[in-house]
Chains A and B, each alone.
Chain A
């Protein structure tokens, strides 16, 4: 006879057997996670705000198409501005999703289980947002497909040695794989929704989307193997995509760009900004839907350590850039870095340094790592700081190249700001629609870390769970 027994554990103390002490059984997981799908007034209000922002961005873009790129604040030779900055920003945001879902899966990091679905969805929508910006940046956006290699009547092919074509392949692959990864992981959860659904129309849609998933051992076996291999190939993909984005800069001879540190520096920055956005999203979700006993303080603590580590790597990269400029002895490079921090762009550089290097040092304190309010505030600073990091990379270099007569300035216009705001509207519109339709916490994977029901009594009982206060995530 099989014997499966569990040791008694204190509430909210994760262990190998009990990672979510306040979650008693599988039915509770289904009931509480699917409760997030109910519509509410707050959801409608936020969706309306997101759609208004998006509408403003669309209007500004239409104005730009009619008037030409001149309305976007470009000032030669600063011909990369808010659009390229925001492109790199959103690609970076998209990195944490696959990192959390793939790399942490391979490393068996337990804290990923309840946050990875949110992060994966965030990745897909962030990359969808990022992909718009190179098109917005084109003077004739309707010709963007010229970058895609396919047999055509023009008999023209793209220049495969151009980093812009590398970008097309990298971003397309990343969007495809992130979407595939998200959807494959969703299939068993959609089956759960299908089986609980009473509305015949919704049930038919969910039946179609779940592909007739039946939860057989055979399905799970192939699913687990496929998921493992998807994670295995997504891991180097995460590292490659932002390396390729960094090549857009590093392949040029421009001061501040032409450096071999760019790929790891960009990858660390991307993960840092992505974890920041995960906090921005997951902390309100866990509070609003009362999911503190799923996304526990232990999970936030572990994710905060990841943010701290990547912040230290990014900070180290900032300092190494200065060192190399000094040690390399190239006058234009040295002059550029002085201008960046103490000259024309000091304000942007210090916003970057404060938000990305100095404030995250607070995460050395365990008390602050376990304080959701502080983590949320810090995440906003991280988002701002990482946008300014890209600003500091793009604008100061182009405005302060080798020839002093070319030195100039740059100021975004209302069109730039409207499209930037519109991109946030676009991103949050998709995310809010996702939250309303599909589970933000992976149901089947959460069940994996909840002890199964067995005929032998185990001490992970109702009495333990009742001792737990979901609002604070603390035991009495």
Chain B
């Protein structure tokens, strides 16, 4: 993996650089930002996050499990109370709901980890500690013959520091 990292102090410079790099189609762009910004999201124009599906399917699985464990174990070990039904779905809705929330939320976190590709053992190339503080980074991964064009675009749009990495 080879590319160029541009280091920006200002948000609008980073936005302009991303727009220029995407227009020039030089390679895959990765943006580093200390906090999520709509301006950067609009410039990158990424697809919608699929994390919501983890919530849906995890939640449904949890809900089914919650009802199932209550109904199955009530039938397995029947405790008759006041002549009422052994397995009663109304109070068991509590288990369905609680398991819906628990498994759904944990699945969502799993979805976050899978799609954000964390946990990560190394920081890989193109990271600078200043990106968690106040600065912005634009890393472009491209073929060796396009590196100089990418570097020029980054500098032209206000990068205070540009360095090649591999």
Judge if B165 is at the interface, Cβ distance under 8 Å.
no
How many chain B residues touch A (Cβ–Cβ < 8 Å)?
A: 74
Q: Could you say which residues of chain B place their CB within 8 Å of the CB of A226?
A: 49, 51, 108-109, 111-112
Q: Could you say which residues of chain B place their CB within 8 Å of the CB of A159?
A: 79, 81
Judge if B91 is at the interface, Cβ distance under 8 Å.
yes
B59-81 vs A, CB cutoff 8 Å, 1 = contact: the mask equals: 10000001001100110110101
Find the B residue at minimum CB distance from A224: B36
* CB–CB B46/A221 < 8 A: yes
- Secondary structure of the A contact surface, majority rule: helix
Residues of B87-108 contacting chain A, CB below 8 A: 88, 91-92, 94-95, 97-102, 104-106, 108
Judge if B11 is at the interface, Cβ distance under 8 Å.
yes
Residues of A432-469 contacting chain B, CB below 8 A: 444-445, 447-448, 452-456
How many chain A residues touch B (Cβ–Cβ < 8 Å)?
A: 67
* CB–CB B77/A155 < 8 A: yes
Q: How far is the CA of A181 from the CA of B108 in the complex (A)?
A: 11
Q: How far is the CA of A234 from the CA of B102 in the complex (A)?
A: 9
Judge if A212 is at the interface, Cβ distance under 8 Å.
yes
Q: Could you say which residues of chain B place their CB within 8 Å of the CB of A30?
A: 133-134
* CB–CB B118/A230 < 8 A: no
Judge if A67 is at the interface, Cβ distance under 8 Å.
no
Find the B residue at minimum CB distance from A25: B134
Q: Could you say which residues of chain B place their CB within 8 Å of the CB of A453?
A: 9-11, 134
Residues of B116-133 contacting chain A, CB below 8 A: 116-124, 127, 129-133
* CB–CB B116/A169 < 8 A: no
Q: Could you say which residues of chain B place their CB within 8 Å of the CB of A172?
A: 98, 102
* CB–CB B94/A212 < 8 A: no
Kindly name the residue among A213, A215, A233 whose own CB sees the greatest number of chain B CB atoms within 10 A: A215
Q: Could you say which residues of chain B place their CB within 8 Å of the CB of A160?
A: 70, 73-74, 91-92, 95
Which of A211, A225, A444 lies in contact with B49, CB distance below 8 A?
A225
Interface-side segment among A1-9, A317-325, A351-359, A365-373: A1-9
Q: How far is the CA of A169 from the CA of B67 in the complex (A)?
A: 12
* CB–CB A212/B109 < 8 A: no
* CB–CB A230/B108 < 8 A: yes
Judge if A42 is at the interface, Cβ distance under 8 Å.
no
Which of A3, A177, A192 lies in contact with B132, CB distance below 8 A?
A192
Judge if A91 is at the interface, Cβ distance under 8 Å.
no
Q: How far is the CA of A180 from the CA of B122 in the complex (A)?
A: 24
* CB–CB A244/B40 < 8 A: no
Q: Could you say which residues of chain B place their CB within 8 Å of the CB of A2?
A: 12, 15-16, 19, 39, 43
Q: How far is the CA of A27 from the CA of B132 in the complex (A)?
A: 10
* CB–CB B39/A4 < 8 A: yes
Judge if B41 is at the interface, Cβ distance under 8 Å.
yes
Kindly name the residue among A27, A187, A212, A214 whose own CB sees the greatest number of chain B CB atoms within 10 A: A214
Given contacts A212-B123, A233-B55, A454-B10, is CB(A220)–CB(B69) below 8 Å?
Answer: no
A36-68 vs B, CB cutoff 8 Å, 1 = contact: the mask equals: 000000000000000000000000000000000
A406-450 vs B, CB cutoff 8 Å, 1 = contact: the mask equals: 000000000000000000000000000000000000001101100
Find the A residue at minimum CB distance from B29: A217
Given contacts A191-B132, A452-B11, is CB(A220)–CB(B36) below 8 Å?
Answer: yes
